[in-house]
Structure 1
Amino acid sequence: MQKIDLATYKRRGMFAAFKDRDIPFFSTSSHVDITNLKKFTDLHGCGFFLSISFLITKSVNLVPELRQRVIDGDVFEFSRVDPGYTVLLEDETFSFCDSRYFDSFDEYRRYSEAKINEVKECPDQSSGEKHHMFFITNVPWFSFTSMVHPYDKQYAYIPVLTIGKYFYEGNRLLAPIGIQVNHALVDGIHVGKFYQQLAEMCDRPERWLSVGSPQA
Structure 2
Amino acid sequence: MENTPVPIDLATWPRREHFVYYREQVPCSWSMTVEVDVTAFVEVLRASGRKTYIAQLWALASIVNRHDEFRMALTPDGDPATWPALHPSFTVFNPGLEIFAVLWAAYDPDFGAFHDAVAALLQEHRTANSLFPRGEPPADVFDVSSLPRTSFSALHIQTRGGVDHLLPIFTLGRYVERDDRTFLPLALQVNHAAIDGFHASRFVSEFEALLADPGWL
1:85 alignment partner in structure 2: 90
Q: Are the aligned partners of 2:172 and 2:186 in contact in 1 as well (CA < 8 Å)?
A: yes
TM-superposed CA distance for 1:7, in Å, is 3.0
TM-superposed CA distance for 1:30, in Å, is 0.8
Q: Are the aligned partners of 2:103 and 2:137 in contact in 1 as well (CA < 8 Å)?
A: no
Which runs of no fewer than 5 residues in structure 1 stay unpaired? 210-216
2:102 pairs with one of 89, 96, 101:
96
The DSSP-based 3-state class of the residue aligned with 2:139 is coil
> For each residue in 1:152-173, what CA deviation from the matched residue of structure 2 results, as whole angstroms up to 9, or x when unmatched?
5466112100100111120110
2:155 alignment partner in structure 1: 147
1:204 alignment partner in structure 2: 213
Q: Does 1:114 align with 2:120?
A: yes
Instruction: Give the 3 Å change call, closer, same or farther, for CA 4–66 of structure 1 in structure 2.
Output: same
TM-superposed CA distance for 1:119, in Å, is 2.7
Q: In the TM superposition, what are the counterparts of 1:116-135 in structure 2 within 5 Å?
A: 116-126=122-132, 128=136, 130-135=138-143
Tell me the number of residue pairs that the alignment of Structure 1 and Structure 2 aligns.
Answer: 208
2:71 alignment partner in structure 1: 67
1:214 alignment partner in structure 2: none
> For each residue in 1:124-146, what CA deviation from the matched residue of structure 2 results, as whole angstroms up to 9, or x when unmatched?
52484643111100001211122
Distance 1:88 1:80 in 2: 27
Instruction: Give the 3 Å change call, closer, same or farther, for CA 129–3 of structure 1 in structure 2.
Output: farther
Q: Are the aligned partners of 2:99 and 2:129 in contact in 1 as well (CA < 8 Å)?
A: no
> For each residue in 1:4-37, what CA deviation from the matched residue of structure 2 results, as whole angstroms up to 9, or x when unmatched?
1223321111111111467511111110011011
46-55 vs 141-150, greater mean Cα deviation: 141-150
Instruction: Give the 3 Å change call, closer, same or farther, for CA 129–24 of structure 1 in structure 2.
Output: farther
120-129 vs 139-148, greater mean Cα deviation: 120-129
The DSSP-based 3-state class of the residue aligned with 2:107 is coil
Q: Are the aligned partners of 2:91 and 2:101 in contact in 1 as well (CA < 8 Å)?
A: yes
Q: Are the aligned partners of 2:72 and 2:80 in contact in 1 as well (CA < 8 Å)?
A: yes
> For each residue in 1:68-126, what CA deviation from the matched residue of structure 2 results, as whole angstroms up to 9, or x when unmatched?
11233021111210000021112111110111100111110111112222333445524
2:50 alignment partner in structure 1: 46
Q: Are the aligned partners of 2:88 and 2:142 in contact in 1 as well (CA < 8 Å)?
A: yes
Distance 2:99 2:87 in 1: 23
1:170 pairs with one of 170, 175, 179:
179
Q: Are the aligned partners of 1:162 and 1:178 in contact in 2 as well (CA < 8 Å)?
A: yes
Which runs of no fewer than 5 residues in structure 2 stay unpaired? none
- The TM-score with structure 1 as length reference comes to 0.89
Q: In the TM superposition, what are the counterparts of 1:12-51 in structure 2 within 5 Å?
A: 12-20=16-24, 24-51=28-55
Distance 1:94 1:129 in 2: 15
Instruction: Give the 3 Å change call, closer, same or farther, for CA 89–110 of structure 1 in structure 2.
Output: same
